[in-house]
Structure 1
Amino acid sequence: MSGAPLRLGTRTFGPDELVVMAVVNRTPDSFFTRGATYAEEAALEAVDAAVAGGAAIVDIGGVKAGYGDVVSAEEESRRVVGFVGRVRERHPDVVISVDTWRADVGDAVARAGADLLNDAWGGHEPGLLEVAARHGVGYVCTHTAGLPPRTDPHRPAFDDVVADVRDALVALAQRAEAAGVRSDGIVIDPAHDFGKATRHSLAVTRRLDELTGLGWPVLVALSRKDFVGESLDLPADERLEGTLAATAVSAWLGARIFRAHDVVATRRVLDMVGCIRGTQQPAVVRRGMA
């Protein structure tokens, strides 16, 4: 099952395909882009650029993951539902993901054309599973160590963080299947930083093959996160190289989807990993052939 295809929207991704998921946040306070794509036209331009740069999935968010102003379900819907419809009209074959934990928002975006519900808070609202099943869309299972939405960890402790992540993700993926979510649309995400200190996220990365062998495609959201920043003692706008190093390691260990702010750089890293491991051919072959 670890080599099973992943079907999202009109796309089917093979087991050796490394997929870029572009981040497009319709929020005024995102930790890295700081509202650059809050305005709808700016967000549409970001989607266009991401697709042109090699992203097969765009992940649209209407609420900042961390602490910040309260965002009601109505306001979240205002930010993302109509925008999903515009992206669908503009890019009929791109996979549209929406980062939400709310069942009502999930239902609205699925009706508007979303193909994947990225539940970044680990089943906080169980009704989101039923929404995914009812609409036949994909669902991302995440490990957050039981934290409620928009909560940072405080001195998290695990006997074995990878075992905890593994057991929680298996349980949530099985719950999704039991709820009727398509088995070829379920993705698991260890959720770097979420519910974890830096040493935990590093351990998850180092031992990612223990998760990629479980049978469901693994998504990693590494882009410019705190575990990268703390490893290198760098702010968010200087974390690209660290992010790409973690990306290459994760790809080598079997991750299949890579949530990224820097689409072109991520696409190039994944193409190089694919060529090294022999699942992708070089784009050109000239050396020694003249």
Structure 2
Amino acid sequence: MRDYFRPILQSGPARPDSALTLGGGWTWFTDVEVLRRDAPARIIPAAALPEAARTALCAPRADIARLSMARPNIMGILNTTPDSFSDGGQFSDRDRALAHAKEMIGAGADMLDIGGESTRPGAEDVALDEETRRTEPTIAALRAFSDVPVSIDTRKSVVARAALDAGADLVNDVAAMTYDPQIAHVTATAAAPICLMHAQGDPQTMQNAPHYDDVVLDVYDFLSERVSAAEAAGIPRQHIVVDPGIGFGKTLDHNLALLQRLSIFHGLGCPILLGVSRKRFIGTLAGVSEAAARMPGSVAVALAGVAQGAQILRVHDVAETRQALTLFQAAIGD
């Protein structure tokens, strides 16, 4: 059985000389939790890390889509879909979509994530031409007035290719190249970065009694295998972002387990994207049934992710997240 190493992250001015910096970023650690499938967790000093694990955790992360991974970044969500779980139909009209893009940029979004297919639980597949029609012209129009980095939220190589040709900077694949393996070739050919997300099942089935032997380690192993697959397809590790897929084939307890040990995924040597905005588990815990009313809980979980070193926050509420992040960083002395 293998060991998995989770840095116990801290921040602020009282940093010991022995502390190690996580990924060239804003957090540091002196101790590490060691997890195994066949033994209880234990704590070791960071100085006792094996060299390969130390390198994976501490090597500075390369820029992704022209953004520094040495600081937390805000990715604003722009769904051009009629049926997304929180804002479906609000921005399916291109003029409204572009107006909302300008609003998010003005509010402090570092990147925009444009999607034309809902992947909420129970969502139906969208035809290639329809998904492309919803996304490619919006990206092209956005490029006419802004150079803010753009990601295309898609599982499909045809849609990704059209988006990259229109000026997208990153492919955000919630299926981690398992739905359409050709998306790896498209991404590699464009020399673009990719975000690989974990999901158990597809949107139609993923919330039908999801099960894991150990959700944290199972998700880690899946992402590790997909990172290796991306590298084999010609995408260098420094162009790969990982996402544990909160809410995608997970129960409330699964989501909380992943959030509580989020920093383990830094061991993959890639930046982490955290997408929790307005998700059902927040409503369950807070007693808020309406997705659009879950902003305070979404911001709270996003800041918890920043405390664990997450480099990209995918959010609906850009202005509120930017204000909270600014104050959070000031309060911890970052």
TM-score for both structures, normalised by structure 2: 0.79
Check whether the contact 1:54–1:264 (CA below 8 A) recurs between aligned residues.
yes
Number of positions where the alignment pairs a residue of Structure 1 with one of Structure 2: 275
Between stretches 228-237 and 45-54, larger displacement belongs to 228-237
Q: Select the residue among 270, 277, 291 that pairs with 1:223.
A: 277
Within 2, Cα distance between the matches of 1:182 and 1:47? 30
Shift of the 269–204 alpha-carbon distance from structure 1 to 2, 3 Å rule, reads same
CA RMSD in angstroms comes to 1.5
Provide the secondary structure at the position in 1 that maps to 2:144. helix
Q: Select the residue among 133, 138, 154 that pairs with 2:208.
A: 154
Offset, 1:150 = 4.8
Structure-2 residue corresponding to 1:283 = none
Within 2, Cα distance between the matches of 1:199 and 1:253? 19
Structure-1 residue corresponding to 2:297 = 242
Residue 199 of structure 2 is aligned to residue 112 of structure 1: no
Provide the secondary structure at the position in 2 that maps to 1:64. coil
Check whether the contact 1:247–1:269 (CA below 8 A) recurs between aligned residues.
no
Structure-1 residue corresponding to 2:61 = 5
Structure-1 residue corresponding to 2:80 = 26
> What's the CA shift string for 1:250-288, capped at 9, x where partnerless?
110111100000001111222233223433xxxxxxxxx
Within 1, Cα distance between the matches of 2:88 and 2:133? 19
Provide the secondary structure at the position in 2 that maps to 1:7. coil
Residue 307 of structure 2 is aligned to residue 252 of structure 1: yes
Check whether the contact 1:29–1:35 (CA below 8 A) recurs between aligned residues.
yes
- Unpaired segments ≥5 residues, structure 2: 1-55
Structure-2 residue corresponding to 1:282 = none
Structure-1 residue corresponding to 2:104 = 50
Within 1, Cα distance between the matches of 2:279 and 2:81? 17
Identity of aligned residues (%): 34
Check whether the contact 2:69–2:271 (CA below 8 A) recurs between aligned residues.
no
> What's the CA shift string for 1:156-211, capped at 9, x where partnerless?
11121000111111111121122111332210000101011111011101111111
Offset, 1:238 = 2.1
Check whether the contact 1:129–1:176 (CA below 8 A) recurs between aligned residues.
yes
Shift of the 198–103 alpha-carbon distance from structure 1 to 2, 3 Å rule, reads same
Structure-2 residue corresponding to 1:96 = 150
Residue 321 of structure 2 is aligned to residue 266 of structure 1: yes
Check whether the contact 1:64–1:150 (CA below 8 A) recurs between aligned residues.
no
> What's the CA shift string for 1:77-100, capped at 9, x where partnerless?
1111111111112112x1110110
> What's the CA shift string for 1:102-140, capped at 9, x where partnerless?
011111111111111100122221111111100011101
- Unpaired segments ≥5 residues, structure 1: 280-290
Provide the secondary structure at the position in 2 that maps to 1:244. helix
The one-letter code matched in structure 2 to 1:128 is I
Residue 72 of structure 2 is aligned to residue 72 of structure 1: no
Structure-2 residue corresponding to 1:194 = 248
Within 1, Cα distance between the matches of 2:157 and 2:189? 12
Within 2, Cα distance between the matches of 1:229 and 1:214? 30
> What's the CA shift string for 1:56-93, capped at 9, x where partnerless?
1100000111234542001001111111111112112x
Check whether the contact 1:212–1:253 (CA below 8 A) recurs between aligned residues.
no
**Bigger-Rg structure (1/2):** 2
